[in-house]
Structure 1
Amino acid sequence: MNRIIRGENLAALRKLAAGSVELIYIDPPFNTGTTQQRKRMKAVRDVAGDRTGFGGHRYRTETLEAMPVYADAFEDYLGFLRPRLEEAHRVLTPTGSLFFHIDPREVHYCKVLLDEVFGSRACFQNEIIWAYDYGARSKKRWPGKHDNILWYTKNPKEYTFRLEASDRIPYMAPGLVGAAKAARGKTPTDVWWHTIVSPTGKEKTGYPTQKPLGVLERIVRVHSNPGETVLDFFAGSGTTGVAAAKNGREYILIDESAEAVKVMRQRLKALAKA
């Protein structure tokens, strides 16, 4: 079942069988109006270099080939999303879930669209706030340090929610709950504090919009069962597939970028060998 599909996602979705996928996570372009690209750099030891590193040694930075580039701007963003979300609804099993990752500028419009696609506001279960604390800080407004993840279910009352499978997090005031509870930790709420992918960490692939594995693993563990299928049709760096594979789920990953597909294959091949 595990598949990586390079292609236009709407066309690929239309080839999937109805009711064949238990869980969908997507992180579509956010319609920021910018071009998304991340440069890859290499530091080479050079006494005439442009920066100083460990031990006072001088290094020269070299720019390697750029990671995938895409224009994150749409004249009709909701018109772009609607047919893809309609197909997502079609391929979900009767008890399946969709997680839609977006930012605060577009989330209100996307929620109204999802209410329409799923046919009932009752199919909306949660808005999860993924909060992080990294990067530049604006001096003209409160710095934006969160994304929004909308959780919808195909059936408003019957769906997979395995809270016991979730990781646990520290209490903010452990002294108020006692030693036993503090040691065990608590289950997460709808606000998820989790760092972004570290720019210098092993998890980093260089893909411009890579999301952290910890966030995806929590979704996969709680909202699907072992052996079920997880779909991501804006798959990018393949984090959804890695989360699925690590936790005994099947995956279908779709992206039209050759570079994205290359990154996914490398990550999943390395995981299989681990």
Structure 2
Amino acid sequence: MTGISLDDANLIVHGDNRDVLPRLPAGRFSMIYVDPPFNTGRAQVRRNQRNRRVEPEEADRRGFKGRTYASVLETLSRYDDSFEDYWGFLLPRLEAARELLADHGTLYLHLDYREVHYAKVMCDMVFGRDCFLNEIIWAYDYGARAKKRWPAKHDNILVYVKDRSRYLFDATEVDREPYMAPGLVTAEKAARGKLPTDVWWHTIVSPTGKEKTGYPTQKPLGLLRRMVAASSRPGDWCLDFFAGSGTLGAAARELDRRFVCIDANDQAIDVMRTRLPEARFLGPEND
């Protein structure tokens, strides 16, 4: 399997990300956004184990690039979905993401309440707890209204950096928000707005708006624009390997960054090729 070189052309890749990621050059991406399937099933499963890195002779499982792990007992209970399968699905992709990040790079992992706590354990293991930067809450107000619990109206975005002493965060490039109580600050501050916190109030993509592509899990451009602006510079490479509708690519293009978008879904590829027509395309026939 040949490697994928990065030139000045943006890239859309049609393929399984687990096969594609090892073909990308290590250390080239300033910002990686990962929006994996949220694993929303309901099989009742309980596991009391986690993984830790060990020497090959002690291992009972392998991860990305042959890294070896052992299962160790820990109080880690599951109540919704097959966690062990999800762990096996997500872990090697997070390991690959870390390899692909530049030393100043940042990972944004977008999940919901069902998996975020377990994904945090994974990321702590892969990146190190000291490289955890933020948990962003994306709050919105749309969809069904639960009557027997508090309605779930937010997603979680875990933010990890590759090197705590070298990561990029450019607050001057981030869009600013209006003050909730502008009368309590100076007129100058009110006009300028404030830097967003770790709670982002942003509407979903309107079902009838111009931004809508028809892809079912499309994320708002405003969310990705903010991440790209904060964690990369013009000309830097950004990566999304569950690219879906290609919103990361659209945000990167708007901000003069370069991008690689990967997806195995035929509908996603069709949407991205329409939305990002300038990007070079790499499909199975090009391998």
Distance 2:278 2:212 in 1: 14
Kindly state the Cα deviation for residue 233 of structure 1 after the two structures are TM-superposed: 0.2
Post-superposition CA distance 1:11-38 (Å, at most 9, x none): 000101111111100100000129xxxx
**Gap change, CA 1:130 and 1:175, over 3 Å in 2:** same
Kindly state the Cα deviation for residue 134 of structure 1 after the two structures are TM-superposed: 1.0
Residue matched to 1:41: none
Whether 1:222 aligns to 2:195 is no
TM-score where L is the length of structure 1 = 0.82
Q: How does 1:5-154 map to 2 (within 5 A)?
A: 5-33=13-41, 76-118=85-127, 120-154=128-162
Structure 1 unaligned regions, length at least 5 = 35-71
Distance 1:145 1:270 in 2: 35
Contact 1:33-1:74 within 8 A present in 2 as well: no
Contact 2:12-2:262 within 8 A present in 1 as well: yes
Contact 2:10-2:278 within 8 A present in 1 as well: no
Q: CA RMSD in A?
A: 1.6
Residue-pair matches, total: 233
Contact 2:104-2:161 within 8 A present in 1 as well: yes
Residue matched to 2:72: none
Match of 1:211 among 197, 204, 219: 219
**Gap change, CA 1:97 and 1:107, over 3 Å in 2:** same
Distance 1:158 1:133 in 2: 36
Contact 1:32-1:73 within 8 A present in 2 as well: no
Residue matched to 1:250: 258
Kindly state the Cα deviation for residue 269 of structure 1 after the two structures are TM-superposed: 2.5
Structure 2 unaligned regions, length at least 5 = 1-8, 43-80, 280-287
Post-superposition CA distance 1:41-96 (Å, at most 9, x none): xxxxxxxxxxxxxxxxxxxxxxxxxxxxxxx9876101100111111111111111
| Paired AA for residue 100 in structure 1 | L
| Paired AA for residue 87 in structure 2 | L
